[in-house]
Amino acid sequence: FKQRQLLEEAGVPIPAYRLAADATEVETAAKEIGLPVVLKPVVGTGSRGVRLCRNLDELAEHTTYLLGGKHMWPSSPRILVEEFAQGPYYCAEMMGNEVIAISGGHFGPPPHFMYREFSYPAALTDDGQERIADISLSCLRALGLGWGPTCIEFRWTQRGPVVI
C-alpha cells in the first residue's frame, strides 16, 4: 500500500487501489473501483494470494481466504484491492539505474496470475521500450531505490504502460 502511495504521489501510472481491513471494506472498495478487481495480501511477493475477482461471490470467497490465515505466507489484517489492469504484460529488469532488459510475459488462465512464459526481448516498438524505461526510472526515484537489482512489472492498458 505504501508503495502504491509513493508511486501515485510521484505521478507514476498505476491501477486504482484501496486498502481494506475487513470484508465490508473489500466489497465497498471493489464497488468503488468497479469489478473485476485484483485482491492482494499487503504482505508477500510472487503472486502469492493474488487473485482476479470477477464478481461478488469470488470477491467474498477470496476475502475470507486472505483474512482467514489458512495459507502459507504471513497473515496480514489488510488487503489491497486493485483495478484489474488489462493488457499485455511486460517486466523491466534493472540493475541500479539502468534498464538491462524488458521482457514480455504470458500467464495461465484466470483467476490466478501464474507465469507461463517470458520472451526476451519484449516485442515492443522503440517508443514502447522508452516509455517503459522512463516509467521504471520514475519508480526507482519515487521509492528511493537505484541500487542493486529490481524488477518492475507493467500491463500495457488503454492508458499505456501501468505499473502493477
Task: List pLDDT tens digits, range 53-106.
Answer: 999 999 999 998 888 866 555 666 789 999 999 999 999 999 999 999 999 998
Mean pLDDT value across the chain = 90
The reply to whether omega before 41 is within 30° of 0 (cis) is: no
Rg of the chain on CA atoms, in Å: 16
Give the angle subtended at the CA of 151 by the CAs of 146 and 155, to the nearest 5°. 125
| pTM, 2 dp | 0.86
First to last CA, the chain: 12
- 141-146 LR contacts (CB < 8 Å, sep 24+): 141/10, 142/6, 142/7, 142/9, 142/10, 142/12, 143/3, 143/6, 143/7, 146/96, 146/97
Higher pLDDT, 34 or 41: 34
Structural domains in the chain, CATH included, are 2-83 (3.30.1490.20), 89-163 (3.30.470.20)
DSSP state of 112: B
Give the pLDDT of residue 70.
65
Maximum mean pLDDT: which of 45-54, 78-87, 112-121? 78-87
* Average of per-residue pLDDT across 109-128: 86
